[in-house]
Amino acid sequence: MSEPQPTQPQSLLSIVAHCDNFSVSEEKITPGGEKLVSWRLTPDLSSPVLGLLRPCVVDQLKLESSNVWNFSLSGTSESISFASSLDTPAKRTRVMKEMCERWRDTGLWPDQIGPKKWRAEMYPIFRNPFGKRDAPLAEDGEVETGDDSTNYAFMMERAACALVGVVTYGVHMTVYEGGPEGEFIGNGDELQGYRIWVPKRARTKQTWPGYLDNSVAGGIPSGLGIFESVVKEAMEEASIPEYIVQVEYVYRLRVPPHVPLQLKPSDEEVESFELLELPEVESRIRAGLFKPNCAVVLIDFMINHGLITPDNEPDFLEIVTRIHGRFDYDRW
C-alpha cells in the first residue's frame, strides 16, 4: 500500500469541508442532483427517518421480499420502511444481518461491504440519532424482548451503515503535553508549547490506510458507553492503562510533566506513534495527511484551546458552524 502524499497547503475551512461534505435540499436532492429516499422505521409517514437511501440501494431493496420492506408514495415524496410485522429491534436486526451478509456474499457494493471492507462489528441505529443511547450489547441484538419503546431501533453491520445513510458514532481523545499549565506563550506563538501524540494508521486498515489519526479514536459499538469506548480504544490502540484515562479528562487527556506516558501500538490498527509539536501537526493537517474526521477533531482542539480564533482565522465562524452541523437532518 503506497503512502498518502502531501497536497499543497490547504485552508482549514477546506479541510473541514472535506469532512462536512453532505447537504440535501427540501426535496432530498443532493448538490450532485441525486434524489434520495427517506428510510423510515415503520410505514406510518410520521415514523422517524433512520437514513437516506441512494437510488441504487432503493432499486436493490425493491428486489427484496415484500414481507420485509414497505414502499410508500405521498405526493412526489417516496419513502421506504420496514414492514409492519417487523415490530421489535430483534426482528429488524435479524433482517438486516441476513440481508447485508447476503449482499456481501453475492458481491454487491464490494468497495463498501465486500469481504475486505467487512468489520464484523454491530452498530446501533436510533429513532432519534441525537437522542438517548440505550442500545443493548451486540451479542444481545437478536434476543427478543418484545420491547419497542426505546430510542434504540435495531443494530446492523458497521461497514453497511454508510450504504444506507444512517448516523453512526465515534469517540476521539487527543493526548497532549504542554499547554496553559506548562509552556503556553500567548504572544502570537500560541501553537508553541503543545505536543500531541499522533498515530499512523496501519497500512492494512480497511479505510484510510497509512494516514495520520487522532491519539485515540474508534467507533462506538452497540451497547458500549461513550466513556467505556474511550477506555477500550485507549488500551487497544495506544497502550494507555485504564487508570490513567479515569483520572484525566476524557476526550482531551493532558499528560502532566511528571507522568512518563509513552504511547505505543497495542494492536494491528496502528503502525506507530509520534509526539509532534503542534505547528507540525497543523502543517500535516493542511497537507492532507490526516484522516479527514481526525483533522476536524484536532482543529476543534485548537479552537477550544484558544489557538484558532476570529483574529487569526478569517473563516472562523464558518469552521465552527460546520464542525457542529446536523447533516441537514430536519430535511430527511
pLDDT digits (tens, 9 = 90+) for 84-95: 999 999 999 999
Task: Give the pLDDT of residue 242.
Answer: 62
pLDDT digits (tens, 9 = 90+) for 37-78: 999 999 998 999 999 999 999 999 999 988 999 999 776 788
Task: Give the pLDDT of residue 281.
Answer: 97
What values do phi and psi take at 77, rounded to 5? -100, 115
State the average pLDDT over residues 124-130.
96
Task: Give the pLDDT of residue 268.
Answer: 82
Instruction: Inform me whether the pLDDT recorded for 202 exceeds 80.
Output: yes
Instruction: Inform me whether the pLDDT recorded for 160 exceeds 50.
Output: yes
Bridge partners of 176, per DSSP, are 196, 254
Please state which of the ranges 156-165, 202-211, 246-255, 285-294 shows the lowest mean pLDDT: 246-255
Q: How do 194-201 and 122-126 pair as beta strands? A: unpaired
- Mean pLDDT (the chain) is 89
Type of residue found at 283: S
Task: Give the pLDDT of residue 274.
Answer: 95
Could you give the C-alpha distances from 123 to 40, 157, 223, in angstroms and in order? 18, 6, 9
Q: If you search the block for the grid coordinates 507540525, which residue do you land on?
A: 280
The residue ranges of DSSP E strands in 224-328, in sequence order, are: 252-254, 270-277
State the average pLDDT over residues 256-267.
84
Task: Give the pLDDT of residue 192.
Answer: 65
Task: Give the pLDDT of residue 181.
Answer: 55
291: closest CA among 199, 221, 229?
199
Query: Would you state the cell numbers that stand for residue 129, as one nine-digit string?
Result: 440519532
Write out the H or E segment, with its range, that includes residue 40. Answer: strand 37-40
Q: Model confidence at 129, in pLDDT bands (50, 70, 90)?
A: very high
Please state which of the ranges 3-12, 52-61, 136-145, 159-168 shows the lowest mean pLDDT: 136-145
State the average pLDDT over residues 283-297.
96
pTM of this prediction?
0.86
State the average pLDDT over residues 304-324.
95
